[in-house]
Amino acid sequence: MDRTEENRQEYKELQRRVKREVSKAKQKAYDELYTRLDTREGEKDLYRLARQKDRDGKDVQQVRVIKDRDGRVLTSEESVQRRWKEYFEELMNEENEREKRVEGVNSVEQKVDKIRKDEVRKALKRMKSGKAVGPDDIPVEVWKCLGEAAVEFLASLFNRVLESERMPEEWRRSVLVPIFKNKGDVQSCSNYRGIKLMSHTMKLWERVVEARLRKVVEICEQQYGFMPRKSTTDAIFALRILMEKYRDGQRELHCVFVDLEKAYDRVPREELWYCMRKSGVAEKYVRVVQDMYERSRTVVRCAVGQTEEFKVEVGLHQGSALSPFLFAIVMDQLSEEVRQESPWTMMFADDIVICSESREQVEENLERWRFALERRGMKVSRSKTEYMCVNEREGSGTVRLQGEEVKKVQEFKYLGSTVQSNGECGKEVKKRVQAGWNGWRKVSRIKGKVYRTVVRPAMLYGLETVSLRKRQESELEVAELKMLRFSMGVTRLDRIRNEYIRGTAHVGRLGDKVREARLRWFGHVQRRESEYIGRRMLDMEQEAKRKAKEEIIALETAGRLQPMAILSTWRSTRHPTSYIGKCIDDVTVSKTITTRSNQKPWMTAEVHALLKSRDSVFRAGDKMALRTARAKLSRAIREAKRTHTQRIHGHFQDSRDSWRMWQGIQAITNYKTTPSACDSDASLPDALNDFYARFEAQNNVAVRKTIPPPNDQVLCLSMADVSRTLCRVNPRKSAGPDNIPGRALRECAEQLADVFTNIFNISLSSAIVPTCLKTTTIVPVPKKSTVSCLNDYRPVALTPIMMKCFERFIMRHIKTQLPPSLDPLQFAYRPNRSMDDAITTILHLSLTHLDNRDTYVRMLFIDFRSEFNTIIPQHLIETEPSGSEHLPLQLDPGLPDWETSVSPDREQLLQHHHTEHWSPSGLCAQPTAVHFADSRLYSNAQFKPHCQVCQGEHRVTILRCSSTDPLWRLSRAPNSLLYI
């Protein structure tokens, strides 16, 4: 084809069309992938996809060269195959030195039952689909698809194998695949783990035999590997709790982590048969397992092809379904004489940890373990066995094994979880974050689905056993949001809230998931039997006390004090606030809060609109539109900042206007003047105090107090009631003039209950309220942003928290004695009533009234100014004269005197001034006082209760919602109007 301009343009057009079609095909393929992965079955594909992408990225599967014994690189295919065969043949046929057993063991000769169909069904159910097949190329999915016919055939086949004790020859062949360990030289054979691909039908046979062996053999409690109802979390939890207990008790704990060299590959088969017989396994099953290992052959499949076949005569099959349980039987018998109870000895397959209180004892136990294992063909690795001392003192020394010093470490990765000698978990949090990033980089386009199924489990592994601090939890959540933002294609410069990111990916907070996992694990531990290692570790007590540290907030310190010590402290101080002040010094932690200005003076209406547009496009998921919206927003922000800068410089350069010039200087230097203490500011407390106390002169009513009868206490509080109320104190509420915070009262509830019960009962019996309890601090809170007069301040009284608790008891008792007719139209502060009830009632009455012809509704809105401040307590509790139509309160004789004692001589700390006849905002009994006042108001207005509303003389229905809400008037007369 000639290279003309016309052909060139045609080529470019075809190239653009091809790119568009390829892009459409890719998008369609991704949509189909997302749809499939959003199903329950697709979750399994996620792990496979992630692992495959991880392997492809590392290029491990394509290593075509390997090093020989001397470190020379082999390049030819024949030499590489020969090296792989040489390495694995030597590994799987070399046996460590051991003592020959002289003693024998009696075999158990007994008749075994035939294989039942339900056993085959259970074995089929336990087999996972999608696994690599063995040399026969028959996957387990074939047997699952055949259904009941496969069960009958396999049961018949397994019974013939059990009877003849000979399995098919095809089952003896396997394919060994080297898997890189992700550490060390990728060209060294020793850095690969050989996994055997065996016949799936043989694995079914192994699972049937394993299920029968588990019913016969009982493995010791120290073994956590591949045991029912046990996992790595149990062992990690037990070790962490043990370390925390000894750290809190300031005692040393010595731990040795034992590693066995080539544990599975070095198990002598004679020892395996001996351990099976000693465990009580029937001789029939011993011969069946022997047949599985006789004449076994394998080949190595590498990047350059398959090697020649060779025999395997030592060790257990890697990748076999039966091998983990057989190894557990061997370890159980070999360690019978040397192991201690959990948690001093714990095993997870070949991972062993030995703990002791002294270095000499742990060294002695390590030597006993070495002798017991090595005399039977297992070998302890000197280079990988490590020693760690928890809460180490100076000069603790190290541990030796046969004269050789064991490596001493400050941290160790135990079953995938990093434990530190100082008991901290900072390294583990960093490893969890790194594990999350490793999983995230495998597949980054599947977004939330991959995060929930691949990344989050990696980050949460083992954290249910870790005591996280806020800083460490924040570190995890920061890493989580980085991953989510990366997957969404946004950065922090886009100013998209974290809630939007999580909501788009359908992902919750990681801290909440950690707490859920911790609670789930705690419930799991509590439901287990009392002999369970987790329960025993939680209940374990240490004799030594925990040493206080500056960085630890020990709020439980006060709670650990004994009642007699508290009583002696109370008697020595003779005042409750003195003891509570001591508790405050012990448990209250000062906290510095730094505030920073985050104003954006350059923000404009256009930028606000673009931000909302960007957020809506982000939630819609349109990437092209999001890119466009982000570009527009960036340009608008730059333009707004430039305009604002020019305006500031214009103010500064305008020498004709000194005020605008001063504004420019303040904006450039961020200078803010400090308000001076002028006369008006200094006189504000006096003015406010006079303003709040102005009701004294208007409500000048003398207080009439009666002498209470002897032993006439209408309300007697119990210690349990006081303790329960103190435990429910809100720790975030402000303290009163006594500066006793709610947190101190809550933590010391059990110790203070007895003291305050006596104080409350004495106050009730004598009808006298202690002055320290009724002293208040008035805090003027502005009602609106701009304050123009004194009435724009709302007085909020900070009363002592103990007084509020006392008032709650009184209020509950008063409510039980109030008549049902008390203020029936009041919907505020009433049980089983709310704003919705008031609105519904108003609408119902109005609409019902408007259904009649020639009717209308008139509303009169009434607001009582300073209603709370004008309540006269003496009027509420005084006895009504005979013939009065006021509603009687029917209170006990002693309570009015107690209520009267609250107001006189009550000190107000806005300025030292005494008030008497007003109820400041902030008291717990305030709503009850308002109800009393409302009841008097309506009884004076001669409104008779009728059903749910009050009927007046002019057939006018009045409904009251609350003190600041309107009175409604419903009238049938077309032109009549009644003012209330």
- Span 285-332, pLDDT tens digits: 999 999 999 989 999 998 888 999 999 988 898 888 899 999 999 999
Ranges 225-234, 305-314, 361-370, 762-771: which has the least confidence: 762-771
How far is C-alpha 112 from the geometric centre of its chain's CA atoms? 50
> Within a 13 Å sphere around the CA of 512, how many CA atoms are in the beta-carbon half?
4
Report the C-alpha gap between 78 and 58 in whole angstroms. 24
**More confident site: 145 or 440:** 145
Mean pLDDT to the nearest integer, 502-531? 81
CA-based torsion, 218, 219, 222, 228: positive or negative? negative
Longest Cα pair distance anywhere in the chain, in angstroms? 123
How far is C-alpha 101 from the geometric centre of its chain's CA atoms? 54
Amino acid found at 4: T
Residue owning tokens 């730059």: 638
Q: How far is CA 978 from CA 127, 859, 872, 941, 970, in A?
A: 86, 11, 29, 14, 10
The alpha-helical segments, DSSP class H, found in 314-425 are 323-334, 359-374
Per-residue pLDDT at 904:
60
pLDDT at 513 over 80: yes
CB atoms within 10 A of CB 136: 15
Residue owning tokens 């040393």: 252
Per-residue pLDDT at 891:
60
How far is C-alpha 763 from the geometric centre of its chain's CA atoms? 45
Mean pLDDT to the nearest integer, 690-711? 57
CB atoms within 10 A of CB 969: 19
Per-residue pLDDT at 291:
92
pLDDT at 212 over 90: yes
Rg (CA), the chain: 41
pLDDT at 354 over 90: yes
Burial class (CB within 10 angstroms; exposed 0-12, middle 13-18, buried 19+) of 980: exposed
Amino acid found at 802: M
Mean pLDDT to the nearest integer, 391-417? 86
Report the C-alpha gap between 798 and 2 in whole angstroms. 94
Ranges 287-296, 343-352, 867-876: which has the least confidence: 867-876
Mean pLDDT to the nearest integer, 569-590? 44
Mean pLDDT to the nearest integer, 925-952? 44
pLDDT at 947 over 70: no
Average pLDDT of the chain is 75
Token digits of residue 627: 């890119």
Residues with Cβ < 8 Å from 63, sequence gap 6 or more? 186, 187, 303
End-to-end CA distance of the chain: 102
Q: How far is CA 397 from CA 15, 239, 391, 406, in A?
A: 73, 22, 13, 11
Do the beta carbons of residue 702 and residue 873 sit within 8 Å? no
Amino acid found at 189: C
Mean pLDDT to the nearest integer, 486-498? 77
- Span 470-479, pLDDT tens digits: 888 888 888 8
Residues with Cβ < 8 Å from 289, sequence gap 6 or more? 209, 272, 273, 276, 322, 326
Per-residue pLDDT at 115:
93
Residue owning tokens 């009649």: 852
Q: How confident is the model at residue 573 (pLDDT cuts 50, 70, 90)?
A: very low
Per-residue pLDDT at 59:
45
**Top-confidence range, 293-302, 521-530, 795-804:** 293-302
Burial 224-239 (b: 16+ CB within 10 A, else e): bbbbeebebbbbbbbb
Do the beta carbons of residue 503 and residue 494 sit within 8 Å? no
Q: How far is CA 836 from CA 839, 842, 843, in A?
A: 5, 10, 11
Do the beta carbons of residue 689 and residue 910 sit within 8 Å? yes
Token digits of residue 934: 């409302």
pLDDT at 210 over 90: yes
Per-residue pLDDT at 655:
53
CA-based torsion, 215, 217, 218, 220: positive or negative? negative
Do the beta carbons of residue 195 and residue 307 sit within 8 Å? no
Do the beta carbons of residue 201 and residue 136 sit within 8 Å? yes
Token digits of residue 693: 């106390």
List phi, psi (to 5°) of 94: -105, 130
Residue 355's H or E segment, with its range, is strand 351-356
Report the C-alpha gap between 446 and 34 in whole angstroms. 7
pLDDT at 717 over 70: yes
Q: How confident is the model at residue 819 (pLDDT cuts 50, 70, 90)?
A: low
List phi, psi (to 5°) of 306: -105, 145
Report the C-alpha gap between 629 and 635 in whole angstroms. 10
How far is C-alpha 768 from the geometric centre of its chain's CA atoms? 48
Residue owning tokens 């139209």: 825
Burial 426-456 (b: 16+ CB within 10 A, else e): bebbebbbebbeebbebbeebbbbbbbbbbb
pLDDT at 366 over 70: yes
List phi, psi (to 5°) of 782: -65, 135
Report the C-alpha gap between 395 and 11 in whole angstroms. 80
Q: How many residues are recorded in the chain? A: 980
Report the C-alpha gap between 760 and 672 in whole angstroms. 51
Per-residue pLDDT at 664:
62
Burial 848-876 (b: 16+ CB within 10 A, else e): ebeeeeeeeeeeeeeeeeeebbebbbbeb
Ranges 307-316, 860-869, 924-933: which has the least confidence: 924-933
Q: In terms of Cα–Cα distance, which of 873, 879, 862 is closest to 963?
A: 862
Q: Over pLDDT 90: what percentage of the chain?
A: 17
Report the C-alpha gap between 158 and 205 in whole angstroms. 7
Do the beta carbons of residue 644 and residue 668 sit within 8 Å? no
Q: How far is CA 349 from CA 227, 425, 532, in A?
A: 10, 25, 19
Q: In terms of Cα–Cα distance, which of 254, 278, 273, 202 is closest to 366?
A: 254
List phi, psi (to 5°) of 748: -105, 25
Do the beta carbons of residue 807 and residue 925 sit within 8 Å? yes
Mean pLDDT to the nearest integer, 419-447? 70
Do the beta carbons of residue 812 and residue 715 sit within 8 Å? no
Do the beta carbons of residue 449 and residue 38 sit within 8 Å? yes
Q: How confident is the model at residue 961 (pLDDT cuts 50, 70, 90)?
A: very low
Q: How confident is the model at residue 93 (pLDDT cuts 50, 70, 90)?
A: confident
- Hey, is 441 helix, strand or coil? helix
Report the C-alpha gap between 481 and 484 in whole angstroms. 5
Report the C-alpha gap between 281 and 109 in whole angstroms. 9
Burial class (CB within 10 angstroms; exposed 0-12, middle 13-18, buried 19+) of 372: middle
**Top-confidence range, 213-217, 741-745, 926-930:** 213-217
Angle between helices 42-58 and 426-442 (to 10 degrees): 90
Q: How far is CA 763 from CA 816, 843, 906, in A?
A: 20, 47, 16
Residues with Cβ < 8 Å from 792, sequence gap 6 or more? 782, 783, 784
Per-residue pLDDT at 282:
92
Per-residue pLDDT at 899:
61
Report the C-alpha gap between 365 and 529 in whole angstroms. 29
Q: In terms of Cα–Cα distance, which of 400, 506, 489 is closest to 450?
A: 506
pLDDT at 643 over 70: yes
